[in-house]
Chain A
Amino acid sequence: MTAYDLEPGDQVHAGDPVKVDRYSTGARINHWITATSLVLLALSGLALFHPSLFFLTGLFGGGQWTRAVHPWIGVLLFFSFAGLFIRFWRANLWRSEDGTWLARLRDVLAGNDEKLPEVGKYNAGQKAVFWGMSLLIIILITSGVVIWDEYFSQYTTITQKRVAVLIHALTAVVIICLWIVHVYAAIWVRGTIGAMTRGQVTGGWAWRHHRKWLRELVGGRQNRP
């Protein structure tokens, strides 16, 4: 059995109910720094994206502050997400069951988990969010630096800046939509949010949604070299 689905700290605690450690304290802190940055970036970015949302600059101390602070939060997000990427990329590698899972998206959305293949620590949807976020963040930081005029205006032409600002806006819309999917899935699939707050899920949650991961955790200890 391959164990790359298991991440450091993943552990089963027998009991009633069974508890499973899903995210370490470090991973959770890392996640919430990223999450806070993303929300602040969305709010400050949307303020400059559509005039009807310009009032959001008030949250950041006005337009000048919003303009000044947004790129720095972006830098924070980039490095914070890089930490998440190093933690999670291995368990997010694509596996054969992910195709089957995606093909049964109708059952996923209907909540018919019994009709889905057993999946590891992450299902195909979570993997799509992970890789999507990774790609979009790279596009956003790159295009963002091009339009960070305060420090980098002299390195690109105006035409390049125009392209960058359009790409930045479009990519931001996509990442906000992806963020909505991420947050909605965490709310809809009850028992998920505890994984990122207290670090634990119940055994039943792991059985229902990530049975392969649970089996690996329970059985894998003896099998690992």
Chain B
Amino acid sequence: MALQNIFPPAPTQNIKVDLSEADLVRRSASSVPAPARQLTSVAKLIDTSKCIGCKACESACLEWNNLREEVGFNHGVYDNPLDLTPDSLTVMRFSEWINPETQNLEWLIRKDGCMHCEDPGCLKACPAPGAIVQYSNGIVDFDHDKCIGCGYCIKGCPFNIPRISKVDNKAYKCTLCSDRVAVGQGPACAKACPTQAIVFGTKDEMKAHAEARIKDLKSRGYKNAGLYDPPGVGGTHVMYVLHHADKPEIYANLPNNPKISPIVEVWKGVTKYVGMATIGAFAAVGFLHHMVSGANRVSPEDEENAQRLTGGKK
């Protein structure tokens, strides 16, 4: 594949930003008009079989996004930091797996981060209008000015990705370098990857590229090699080539057939409407009852009876 197509030269002048409000297809807790144009669907393809675990992607991500991870500790494993944080929007997860068929120890390395779901659970769960948006090219992005820090996106996400900052109480995750993509550049991680285990392009191109990789892996004996583009969330705009696509969970618990939790669907679906209707119905019944029955008033006889009752005791 001609890499020039994937990484066009960096524009230095007359940069045209090609990603705007007009390209939104989804907007949290609100609706958007249908966009006038459909951008080409993009995707990042992460080939776990080519990854050497160098963490250049982690560094490039911090660098481009101007983030500084706190100096941490060596926990005795390669994962560093141990988990995603509000600053580390991507982390390499290392798994040691003994292949039961070959008894070989396989060192599986997966670059974790936002998968940019076609049907994003974070966006569905978000209560703040416009805090999470989806562009017609597939990128799911957080608008931090509108984020209220409630953490609902964490509950909505099938991949456990967003992290809330303790500094500004806002949710952070990989943007797929939407700011770079908007000016025709690939994501910083893809740019930095020395083995081209991370590549970026149109979703169709990436699927075709994956197909060639899978064919190659199969010819090398990885008979279950395949593409991870889970249909349960409508497909993703970050995809993996896995040598063992039949068992994604061996890659640091990559979910097998992820989808938005049915609990979240109920919470953000029927509960929202039935809840509002029930509250409205109670208020309406109260109003109607008063219209029909009138006030329940104390009669003069009641007062006389009370006086008779207390009078004798005085």
Contact = CB atoms under 8 A, between A and B. Distances in A.
Interface of A: 12, 14, 16-18, 47-51, 54, 57, 62-64, 66-68, 109-111, 113, 147, 149-150, 153, 158-159, 161-163, 165-166, 169-170, 172-173, 176-177, 180-181, 184, 187-191, 202-208, 214-215, 218-219
Contacts of B283: 180
Interface stretch (B134-142, B220-228, B286-294): B286-294
A21 B218 CA distance: 86
Given A48-B150, A51-B29, 9 more contacts: A14-B310, A14-B311, A63-B128, A149-B154, A162-B261, A188-B295, A190-B296, A204-B300, A208-B302
Nearest to B298: A204
A204 to B, nearest CB: 3
Contact of B149 (A50, A64, A205): A64
The SS class assigned to the B binding surface is: helix
Contacts of A166: 263, 266-267, 271
B105 interface: no
Interface in B264-291: 264, 266-267, 271-272, 274-276, 278-279, 282-283, 286, 289-290
B126 to A, nearest CB: 9
What size tier do the contact residues of chain B reach? 35 or more
A55 B84 CA distance: 32
Nearest to A110: B293
A207 B153 CA distance: 55
Contact of B296 (A18, A67, A111, A218): A111
B129 A190 contact: no
Given A54-B128, A204-B298, A158 B29 contact: no
Nearest to B274: A173
B14 interface: no
A82 to B, nearest CB: 26
Given A68-B169, A165-B152, A54 B29 contact: yes
Given A110-B293, A177-B282, A180-B282, A165 B267 contact: yes
